[in-house]
Amino acid sequence: MTALTREHHHLHLGAGALASGKFERSRLLLVRRGYVWVTQEGRPEDFWLHAGDALIVHPDRTIVVEAVIASEIFMENRSKPGAGLWFKVRCFAARGLLQRGFARLARLSHMTVRQGGH
């Protein structure tokens, strides 16, 4: 298991690898590649993040990240979440949804062609 420290800004995790720790300040956690499960102390929900998804993690609470597949994560310090950060997170989330939507559409199109176009 990788111990997260305040020096971590870029993290590479192999499939099944874990990282945990806590930060003194809020962080924007952005999944650049892969698929991860994230849980954080004091939050009732867990998060499943694909490439392009982002999450703001709260300060002074233990966070655990597990890579479902090989993943690359970027973590950016945030002192006070504001409108700029909110917009950035929404843009990353929208991009991830679009990428997954286009991938599904491509799979459906491929299936239609294989089934004779009907």
**Looking up tokens 């954080």, which residue turns up?**
40
User: What is the domain count for the chain?
Assistant: 1
Please tell me the predicted confidence (pLDDT) of residue 40: 96
Domain of residue 43, residue span: 2-114
- The one-letter amino acid code at 54 reads A
Per-residue pLDDT tens, the chain, 118 aa: give them. Answer: 888 877 778 899 999 999 999 988 889 999 999 999 999 999 999 999 999 999 999 999 999 999 999 999 998 887 655 556 556 666 666 666 666 666 666 666 666 555 555 5
Tell me the pTM.
0.67
**Looking up tokens 């559409």, which residue turns up?**
105
Q: The tokens of 117 are what?
A: 């176009």
Give the CATH number for residue 57: 2.60.120.10
Q: The tokens of 76 are what?
A: 């950016």
Return the bridge partners of 31, or none: 73
Return the bridge partners of 54, or none: 30
